[in-house]
Structures are given as C-alpha cells and as structure tokens.
Amino acid sequence: MSNYEIPEVWEWEPDEKSKTGNQPTAGSRFEQKLPVGDQPLQVYSLGTPNGVKVAIMLEEIKEAGVENAGYDLYKINIMKGDQFGSDFVNINPNSKIPAMMDHSEKEPIRVFESVSILLYLAEKFETFMPTSLAERTELMNWLFWQTGAAPFLGGGFGHFYNYAPTAQEYPINRYTMEAKRQLDLLDKRLADNAYINGDEYGIADMAIWPWYGRLVQGELYGEADKFLKADEYTNLKAWADKILERPAVKRALEVEYKEI
C-alpha cells in the first residue's frame, strides 16, 4: 500500500541522478565535439537493445559484401550524460541512442531512432528488405509493432522488475501480463514462419531480436526469463537461437565502441 498522493500540479525536484539523466526539458546541456572517423557512416551508440539493432545491421551489410558501408562506432555513455551534449543533440534532438551521420552523401544526412536507421540502411543499400508491396507492408507492420511494444517491455516490465528501487506488485503484475502477451504473439507468429517477416531474414528480425530474443535467452533483466517462463515460448526461443548463430550477430554483440 503506497502513501503517495497525486498533487494537483506536478513539480520537478532535481536530485543527483538528474544531472546526467532525464529532465523535463529537451535540448543540449553542454558544448560537445564528437569525433568523426574516416568511414562514411558515423554511428554514436551503446550496446543496449536499440544500439545492438544497428550494430547487427551494419555487420550484416558487411557480411553481405556491400561496398561503401564502412562505419565508425563511438560510445555514448548515457550514464554520464553524453547524450545531452551539443553535437549529439544536433544529430538526435531527442537525446537517445543510437544516432548516425551518413557522410557519403553530398550533404551529410542525420538519422536517429533505431528503426529509422535500419530502414535508412536497408533502402540505401537495397538489402534485408523485401520489394513487393505486400511483403514490404508486412515488414512495416512488424517494425511499427516493435517500436510501439518495446517501451512496455523495457520501460515497463524491465524497469519495475529489475531497476525500480522497490518491488511494487501492481506495476510488476501489469507489465508482466503485457510482456507475456507480447512473447506469446511472437511465438505464434514464428510457429509457421522461419523469420518475423516470413521465409527471409531481414530488418524486422534485427529490430525484434535484441529485445525479445535476448529476453528469452536470459540476457535481459537478470532472471527475467525464469520469471516469465520463457521456455514455454518454444518457437520464439528456436528463432532467437538461430539468429544468435549468425556470424554478423555474434560480431555485433562483441563490437568495440570507441571512446568519444
């Protein structure tokens, strides 16, 4: 039972964590000069699920032998507040990783939001995305599903199960129910499909695997896989293990993030 009472008007009370964490306003907090390497794609990221998506795509492009797709990968330490520096905010005004600059175009192009980066790279290099209207639309269905669903998994279930300072029954029950519903949805989808979008591996798999594949493999949120009875989702687990065997995925999980 909580003693918290909702105030008539919410007021922000800064604390030590808020110096490098979220505040109720957007924008840069300090001057920053991000490094720019020699490769056409400059990526500023971290090894979180959203960051891993882009690392996988970049490594899969390399594995496929695509030319002019080299990249430099720099570490944005979100615990230190690197994402609020002026250069990073100029690339992503939302101050979230990952973010990318494509210097191969006549005028450099900024790309932010992980799925936007996946789509950009797939379209630019014409790979890992179907071309027919029906298959492309199905791909978009699952990409947009992931962008809408993952916040309930990460910011909802993951936060209250693994990160919140105290265990709270109501939010844990609420978000566990939603997490299991999402896992069941994917398990059913993969019962008759080799990959998320059907028979072909593509960016929908790259977007979904770092969240849901890693979760059922026991790599997210402590022992959340046991808590969620992840072994029950046999189709999802088989798919997750199959993705993990891809050489590009293995490299993406081990890739070195350069210090800024």
Indicate whether 173 pLDDT > 80: yes
Q: How confident is the model at residue 1 (pLDDT cuts 50, 70, 90)?
A: low
Q: Is the pTM of this model over 0.95?
A: yes
**Comparing 4-18, 42-56, 151-165, which segment has the lowest mean pLDDT?**
4-18
Judge whether residue 222 has pLDDT over 80. yes
Q: Is pLDDT larger for residue 3 or for residue 104?
A: 104
What is the structure's pLDDT at 221? 97
Decide if pLDDT at 7 tops 90.
yes
Q: Tell me: pLDDT of 78 over 80.
A: yes
Can you tell me the mean pLDDT for 192-218? 98
Q: Sketch out the chain's domains with CATH numbers.
A: 133-246 (1.20.1050.10)
Q: How confident is the model at residue 178 (pLDDT cuts 50, 70, 90)?
A: very high
What are residue 170's phi and psi, to 5 degrees? -60, -55
pLDDT, average across residues 93-115: 98
pLDDT of residue 19: 82
The answer on pLDDT for 144 being more than 90 is yes
